[in-house]
Amino acid sequence: MAGTLRVPAQNSSKFRQRVDSLLIRKYWRANVDTSYVTRPQAKMMILGRLNVSGAKIKTQGHINNHSFSSELTADYKSTLSAGVSYRGILINFSVNPARVLGRYRDLELYMQSYKPRFGFDISYQNARNFNGTVTVDGVPHSVTKTDGLFEVETINANFYFVFNPRRFSYAAALAYSYIQRKSAGSLIIAVSGQGQHARVESTEGSGVIDFKMTIIGVGAGYGYNYVRNNWLFHLSTVPAFIVYSKTSFTSDNDDVSLRYRFPEFIVTSRAAIVKQIGKNKFAGLSMIYYYTNIGEEEHLYVNNRKWLARIYFGFRL
């Protein structure tokens, strides 16, 4: 009986060893110059973060012989998150205290991957928590989130390619799965996109303004990691000029055309500060910022800004 019970246990142990061996090979496979970039020796990483995000939308134009402009800002969203990584595979859990208490009902999601050569950032927001001012023919009208008159869905995406992945690491600055040992930079090319659907109801109930936008841009930029005395300072920006644009803007069944104005672009910027504390601890902050502008003020102009900032502390085992 004892012998028959040991067989499954032995098989399970061999399976775990095979999986661990596969993860180890994948973990150390990266083709990097180890005098500049290296993997942490530790198997595990435990990470705690405070995440804060915000958004702002500005418009200006003319419709039905009326001039209009708006400037609306979303409430800041704060979440607490904790994650555990084993051999570069991260499992993360986050909670929004305001949502738990019923004070925040909007939805916001992020998906990010920072590999040595390729990577991406994707964000999604479905929000009604905007406050600001809408001005029609020079007369301002206040808009608050309690009115429930403004709703917007926005998705931002940036896919990048790094030309110097052996010496420059996005992951060291933003994912903490690598360690930057010496200063280095790289040319970066990227494809960026934004999709948005905004809906504004009239305060008098007389109509609805509906705006839809899909834009894609291609561009190049530069990133640099500066290292000194166990500090890492990262800054990168990639402007992408818009090569595809599809928009529609309707108010009471009247359409407004969005005219091209050079330059129209999507800018994705990233910044980070990382401090290595001893052998196995680290702390810092990071930020990603999206900026888009399309159209012209005489007909229809739309400007979007979206950002995510993180403060974190972690240690490796």
pLDDT tens digits, one per residue of 187-226: 999 999 999 998 877 655 546 778 889 999 999 999 999 9
Report pLDDT for 103. Answer: 66
DSSP for 254-284 reads: EE------S--EEEEEEEEEEEEETTTEEEE
Backbone dihedral angles phi then psi of residue 280, each to the nearest 5 degrees: -125, 5
**What is the rounded radius of gyration, in angstroms, for the C-alpha atoms of the chain?**
24
Q: How far apart are CA 239 and CA 268, in angstroms?
A: 6
Reported pTM? 0.85
Question: Quick one: pLDDT at residue 12?
Answer: 67
Q: Cα 97 from chain centroid?
A: 21
Give the per-residue pLDDT at 204: 54
> CA of 297: how far to CAs of 123, 134, 162, in Å?
27, 15, 36
What pLDDT does 61 receive?
Answer: 83
pLDDT at 1: 46
Q: Torsions phi, psi of 245, nearest 5?
A: -145, 130
What is d(CA 99, CA 78) in angstroms, rounded to the nearest whole number?
A: 10
Report pLDDT digits (tens) over 119-137. 999 999 988 888 888 888 8
Ordered by start, the domain boundaries in the chain are 31-316
Whole-number Å distance between alpha carbons of 67 and 150: 19
CATH assignment of 31-316, given 2.60.40, 3.30.200, 1.10.3470, 2.40.128?
A: 2.40.128
Type of residue found at 310: R
Copy the structure tokens of residue 92. Answer: 């993360």
In the prediction, which pLDDT does 16 show? 67
What is the rounded average pLDDT of the residues 71-92?
85
172 vs 85, 252, 288, CA distance in Å? 14, 51, 15
In the beta sheet, which residues pair with residue 117? none
DSSP state of 166: T
CA atoms 65, 211, 135, 307: torsion sign: negative
**Position 278, amino acid:** G
pLDDT in tens, 9-66: 566 676 666 766 666 666 667 789 999 999 888 888 999 999 999 999 998 888 777 7
- State the DSSP H helix or E strand holding residue 22, giving kind and residue range, or none if neither: helix 2-27
Instruction: Give the pLDDT confidence score for residue 252 in this predicted structure.
Output: 67
